[in-house]
Amino acid sequence: MNNFLNKLGKEWEKTLFTVVLLLILGYLGAIAYNMLMDDEGSSNDNVRPKEPHNYFDTHSFAYLSPANLKKEVNPLLFHVKINLPPPPPKPAPNNNQPPKPTTPPKTNPTKPPAQNTPAQPPKPDPGKKQPPTPTTPPKPTPPPPPPRKISVQYRGFIKGGDEQVAFYSANDSKTKKTEAKSAHLGAKIHGVLEIKKFDASEIILSSNGKEIVVKKGKKQEIVVQ
């Protein structure tokens, strides 16, 4: 006996599983027994089954039966008798009076049809002062365009052989273009300012016969007509 209990203690997982399994089987067997002993499933002839409850009254559907109406009666139509007054008597025709002849309207073939002439304005009275005629105000003259300005900055020059080349940058206010390049004597900046002379300290430009001196490294604004 002690050996059996010791064995169950060592293998307690199997023992617990076996006990749980036996409890489940016993519970399922009790449920099956109760289902077999139920009134509807019992095989005992002495117990009468319960009568089903009468949830619906079969006599309450009498309105579904068709009505006992005649063939010429339509239950979807309503008949109303209206007493209309008699129509007035028509006048008797008089056959003694002859019908009146219809005469066409008189027209004058010689007279031309009237034409709609436009209404002429009334002639002015010479003895009465006439109001002055309104005069249109003169159109305002547009403002003159701003003068053209060219900003020039002299950067110096180099000498290669017998030729000298000047470096400059110039911005034109009219064309909104900027030049940054080199040029020889006689070249024109933006096609307007002619290069007359340059050295290590300044450049001399000509515009409409007027000479302008621009110092090296300084930016000078020149108004061009």
The 10s digit of each residue's pLDDT in 68-125 is 666 766 767 776 778 888 888 887 766 666 666 666 666 655 665 555 666 666 676 6
The 10s digit of each residue's pLDDT in 3-48 is 766 776 677 788 888 888 999 999 999 998 888 876 555 555 565 6
Number of domains in the chain: 1
Q: Is residue 71 part of a domain?
A: no
Cβ pair 203, 214 in contact under 8 A: yes
What pLDDT does 85 receive? 83
How crowded is residue 206: how many other Cβ atoms within 10 Å of its Cβ? 15
The answer to whether residue 55 scores a pLDDT higher than 80 is no
The better pLDDT of the pair 60, 198 is held by 198
What pLDDT does 170 receive? 93
What pLDDT does 153 receive? 93
Q: Is residue 207 part of a domain?
A: yes
We report the CATH number of the domain holding residue 199 as: 2.30.30.830
Q: Is residue 109 part of a domain?
A: no
Q: Is residue 217 part of a domain?
A: yes
The answer to whether residue 60 scores a pLDDT higher than 80 is no
As given in the structure block, the two tokens for residue 162 are 């017998």
What DSSP state is assigned to residue 56? S
Tell me what percent of the residues of the chain surpass a pLDDT of 90: 19
Q: Give the separation between CA 64 and CA 74, rounded to whole angstroms.
A: 17
Which residues, 6 or more positions from 185, have their beta carbon under 8 angstroms from its beta carbon?
164, 195, 196, 197, 198
Question: Which runs of consecutive H residues, i.e. helices, occur in the chain?
Answer: 2-10, 12-36
What pLDDT does 76 receive? 75
Q: Is residue 164 part of a domain?
A: yes
Q: Strand, helix or coil at 4?
A: helix
Q: Is residue 190 part of a domain?
A: yes
Q: Is residue 172 part of a domain?
A: yes
Q: Give the separation between CA 176 and CA 38, rounded to whole angstroms.
A: 109
Q: Give the separation between CA 219 and CA 178, rounded to whole angstroms.
A: 13
Question: pTM for the whole thing?
Answer: 0.38
Q: Is residue 159 part of a domain?
A: yes
- Boundaries of domain holding 198: 148-224
Q: Quick one: 197 exposed, middle or buried, by C-beta within 10 A (0-12, 13-18, 19+)? A: middle
